[in-house]
Amino acid sequence: MAKLGRELAAKGVDVISLSLGETDFFTPDFVKDAAKEAIDKNFSYYTPVAGYPELRKSIAAKLKRENNLDYEFDQIVVSTGAKQSLANAILCLVNPGDEVVIPTPYWVSYSELVKLAEGKSVFINTSIDTDFKITPAELEAVITPQTKLFMFSSPNNPTGAVYSREELAALVKVFEKHPDIFIISDEIYEHINFLDKHVSIAEFESVKDRVIIINGLSKAYAMTGWRIGYSASSKEIAAACDKLQSQITSGTCSITQKAGVAAYEGGLDTIKEMREVFLRRRDLVYGLLKEIQGVKVNLPDGAFYFFPDVSSFFGSITTDGDVIKNAGDLALYLLNVGHVATVSGDSFGDPASIRISYAAADDKLVEAVKRIKFALEGLK
């Protein structure tokens, strides 16, 4: 959808893109300064595969400081982004035929990475009516002797759902009954959380050894292009990820790593400012989306997305006589007629919804929702 939007924009159409999964902020100056200094000081050589020890230590310190989690530096493997850390962990853990339980909607790459590992994704469907969260009973119901891994993100992309401590505790009770299941906890949106403090499932001692935390700097420090992420896990899994990564990419960019140390040691002020802005935008867009008839929307607790259920429009006819059969058709219609790029929910395993990112300036958001409303009102 982003590509189609760019093509339309290249033809001179004023397209508002709400399709991308990245913030519209700039990387903080103190992080950029550290990168410039690293270049000048000639940090231009291969780094250790799992990252400079200095960086791994600063991540371990972050985990203690912000999450009250104890990890030693050799339990941290730095990579070229949370995506690579996910790939490392999945390829290390999942053997052909293993089942991986994934609540839907999920981030697009989850199921594709499971396919790469020749595993089988087992989905637990959620809906807007339950704020896109699973229950312990739903989890228990899909577990089989083949279940190797459970994988989720909180805050969630694409729904913004955030599991509370109580909700995680209830899921942990299920995992306690199944000690062979690993848990990938994707916490890349940790700091874009409008509830209380972020809770990691690794805070539950009974499962910590089998949790692989995935995180990075892409979202919190607006560093998507710098390519840096990490996993925090048992030493055994960390060693396996290190071995795999050594044959695929080696350590991530040396300059990025030095910038990463500055980010982790530089305090949370810029993140707090960013979160305030996202909170304001969330409330703004929520108010506007609620006014559109046929759009079912909930108030997300984190990340920077809305994931409204738009299934009431399926079967509608456009002014050109085309039928909107599904979320893909609707997203395309919104792009071609409303000139707003969104993403069809199919990519996230939910065919009833579209994803709208609110990582854009307030005036663009207001204009975009106005256009969406106008386009939807034109459907018969």
Out of 52, 71, 107, 132, the only residue in the binding site for ligand PLP (CB under 6 A) is 107
> Are the C-beta atoms of 100 and 149 separated by less than 8 Å?
yes
d(CA 91, CA 88): 5
* Cα-based angle 15, 18, 23 (whole degrees, multiple of 5): 125
Helix (H) or strand (E) holding 212: strand 211-216
CB atoms within 10 A of CB 279: 14
Number of residues written out for the chain: 380
DSSP 131: T
d(CA 352, CA 369): 19
The tokens describing 38, both together, are 């690293």
Q: How far is CA 200 from the centre of its chain?
A: 15
d(CA 129, CA 361): 29
Q: Which is nearer to ligand PLP, 186 or 242 (CB)?
A: 186
Of residues 2 through 21, those in contact with ligand PLP by CB under 6 A are: 21
Q: How far is CA 187 from CA 62, 63, 122, 358, in A?
A: 13, 12, 21, 19
Per-residue binder mask for ligand PLP (CB under 6 A), 112-151, x = binder: ----------------------------------------
Q: Which is nearer to ligand PLP, 126 or 311 (CB)?
A: 126
Q: Is 188 in the site for ligand PLP (CB under 6 A)?
A: yes
Q: Is 304 in the site for ligand PLP (CB under 6 A)?
A: no
Residue 143 burial (CB < 10 Å; 0-12/13-18/19+)?
middle
Q: Which is nearer to ligand PLP, 311 or 353 (CB)?
A: 353
The tokens describing 193, both together, are 């959380």
Q: Is 249 in the site for ligand PLP (CB under 6 A)?
A: no
- Minimum distance of ligand PLP from residue 21's CB (angstroms): 4
Q: Is 160 in the site for ligand PLP (CB under 6 A)?
A: no
Q: Is 137 helix (H, G, I), strand (E, B) or coil?
A: helix
Q: Which is nearer to ligand PLP, 58 or 231 (CB)?
A: 231
Closest residue to bound ligand PLP by CB: 81
Q: Which is nearer to ligand PLP, 83 or 148 (CB)?
A: 83
Out of 17, 23, 159, 218, the only residue in the binding site for ligand PLP (CB under 6 A) is 218
Of residues 309 through 368, those in contact with ligand PLP by CB under 6 A are: none
> Are the C-beta atoms of 207 and 149 separated by less than 8 Å?
no
Of residues 62 through 101, those in contact with ligand PLP by CB under 6 A are: 81-83
Q: Is 191 in the site for ligand PLP (CB under 6 A)?
A: no
Q: How far is CA 376 from the centre of its chain?
A: 28
Q: Which is nearer to ligand PLP, 271 or 288 (CB)?
A: 271
- Minimum distance of ligand PLP from residue 188's CB (angstroms): 4
- Minimum distance of ligand PLP from residue 227's CB (angstroms): 7
Q: Is 306 in the site for ligand PLP (CB under 6 A)?
A: no
Please report, as ranges, the residues that interact with ligand PLP according to CB under 6 A: 21, 81-83, 107, 153, 157, 186, 188, 216, 218, 224, 229
